[in-house]
């Protein structure tokens, strides 16, 4: 994984993660403090992460957001991380590391 943000707080406490490319799913299901895993790179990622109070965003498949998206994330203190791994691999590695999925039972 490669940090894309200027400053990343390595002491962020991540308890759960949510992987999606539909921001409507993120808005409907994610909870504050949830790590976002996505393949989307547009500016809506930052706005969604900010609205849900997500501590960081991981971009999969080597996708890098445009400069203006990274700059807005830096301004809002939302760290961006990029990995060349697929979304499936990324989720599996995080799960093995003890990161829990969010519960979607309330739908």
Which range among 6-10, 11-15, 99-103 shows the weakest confidence by mean pLDDT? 6-10
The pTM assigned to this predicted structure is 0.88
Q: Report which of residues 3 and 45 the model is more confident about.
A: 45
Task: Give the residue extent of every domain in the chain.
Answer: 2-101
As to burial, measured by CB atoms within 10 angstroms (0-12 exposed, 13-18 middle, 19+ buried), residue 56 is: buried
Tell me whether strands 2-3 and 80-82 are parallel, antiparallel or unpaired. Answer: antiparallel
CA distances to 25, 73, 101, 107 from 8, in Å: 26, 11, 23, 34
Residue 22: pLDDT over 80: yes
* Choices 3.40.1390.20, 3.10.310.70, 3.90.230.10, 1.10.10.10: CATH for 2-101: 3.40.1390.20
95/99 Cα distance (integer angstroms):
5
As a whole number of angstroms, the distance between CA 81 and CA 65 comes to 10
């Amino acid at each position: 994984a490669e940090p894309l943000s200027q400053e990343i707080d390595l002491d962020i406490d991540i308890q759960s993660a949510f992987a999606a490319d539909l921001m409507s799913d993120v808005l409907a299901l994610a909870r504050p403090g949830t790590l976002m895993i996505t393949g989307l790179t547009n500016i809506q990622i930052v706005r969604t992460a900010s609205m849900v109070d997500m501590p960081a965003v991981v971009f999969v498949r080597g996708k890098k957001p445009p400069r203006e998206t990274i700059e807005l994330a830096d301004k809002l203190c939302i760290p961006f991380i990029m990995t060349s791994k697929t979304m499936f691999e990324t989720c599996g590695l995080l799960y093995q590391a003890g990161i829990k999925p969010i519960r979607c039972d309330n739908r």
